[in-house]
Amino acid sequence: MAAVAGGESVELVDDLAVDEPGPGEVLVAIRAAGICHSDLSGMNGTILQRFPFVPGHEGAGEVVGTGDGVSAVHVGDHVIVAWTPPCGRCKPCLRGQPNLCIDIFFAMQARARFHRAGSDVFGFAGTGTWTESIVLPEQAVVTIPNDVPFDVAALIGCGVTTGVGAAVNTARVAVGSSVVVFGCGGVGISAIQGARLCGAAEIVAVDTVPRKLDDALRFGATRGVHPDDLLAANGDITGGEGFDYAFECIGSAPTFRAAWDATRRGGTTVIVGAGRADAILSLNGFELFFSEKALLGSYYGSADVRSEFHRLIRLWRSGRIDLEGMVTARLPLEDVNRGIEALQRGDVIRQVVML
């Protein structure tokens, strides 16, 4: 069975054919796949994506086949899917910014590895994990120890790497600093955990859903506030100066601006949320100059998936980050539309489809 996107829901189909792995490719049986907000963004046009497609870009599973010339991965390996895999040869890879590699990513997006009734079916962000099996370039899977549960592993494939990485790698949050995080979904909760790992003194979580603020406190936020109460929290914590770091984990123009405004002069605003091409942040020349704020984009946690996935597994094993606690619900693929509805209501951290 597989899910194929049509608008903001999916059709569950039994007739999706998966290509055999070609040279340099692997066949992966998906065991767990996260429902990330970006999947919905692909379905509603926020993120550009070729249709029809299988959603899902967070996933973990087992390698069940390999094509010619595959050397780094073997049948039986447990793996996490990396939706932007590093090629290892291009300028960004050689410069030490492998998360910005586009060589394999663009090729993955351009090539349909699923077919249905003789027509091409693409995979979201070049992957497409809401299905029983998938063919990927060998670079797009990272082998992990066999004892890591698949649901935990799936989360690492996108949300956790993106959020923890934004704090640890992109911003390099300093010990004792003040942090505000906008949005307490999977990525925001991960950014909170990342800021806590870095030793932030105060971590303020901002969300409109009261239950998610309670969740945020469990993961290391020191205070949770409704957006209407942020100004008061800013006054209490920073004397109104603003936070050392603000992380926007939503992807909308009003919260880009709110994150910028909540950052102190000389502080750092980090845009983690994936916004639409027409979501415009406007900043005037004087404030840019006078505030001396740094505005950073953060893409896939500024991480090298080949080492970052393993680092996150070690942090999880030693209890320094909580990944099981992020799984709000586990669902069978049959119920994925119910999961999408819960995501739209905004009252979940992360749901994982178990296959």
- Contacting positions for Zn ion (CB under 5 A): 36, 38, 87, 90, 93, 101, 103, 158
Q: Which is closer to Zn ion, CB of 88 or CB of 240?
A: 88
Q: Which is closer to Zn ion, CB of 21 or CB of 185?
A: 185
Task: Provide, rounded to whole angstroms, the least separation between the CB of residue 85 and Zn ion.
Answer: 8
Measure the CA–CA gap between 299 and 98, rounded to whole angstroms: 11
Which H, E and C letters describe 65-96, residue by residue? EECCCCCCCCCCCEEEECCCCCCCCCHHHHHC
How many CB atoms sit inside 10 A of residue 24's CB?
16
CA-to-CA dists, residue 163 to 170, 250, 270, angstroms: 10, 11, 11
Task: Provide, rounded to whole angstroms, the least separation between the CB of residue 237 and Zn ion.
Answer: 30
Q: Which single residue brings its beta carbon nearest to Zn ion?
A: 101
Task: Provide, rounded to whole angstroms, the least separation between the CB of residue 65 and Zn ion.
Answer: 25
Q: Which is closer to Zn ion, CB of 95 or CB of 265?
A: 95
Task: Provide, rounded to whole angstroms, the least separation between the CB of residue 37 and Zn ion.
Answer: 7
Q: Which is closer to Zn ion, CB of 173 or CB of 305?
A: 305
Contacts of 319 (CB under 8 A, 6+ apart): none
Q: What strand order describes the sheet that includes 243-248? A: 223-225, 202-206, 178-182, 243-248, 263-271, 294-297
Check: CB of residue 222 under 8 Å from CB of residue 210. Answer: no
Comparing C-alpha atoms, which of 317, 335, 190, 250 is closest to residue 41? 250
Q: Which is closer to Zn ion, CB of 110 or CB of 288?
A: 110
Task: Provide, rounded to whole angstroms, the least separation between the CB of residue 162 and Zn ion.
Answer: 6
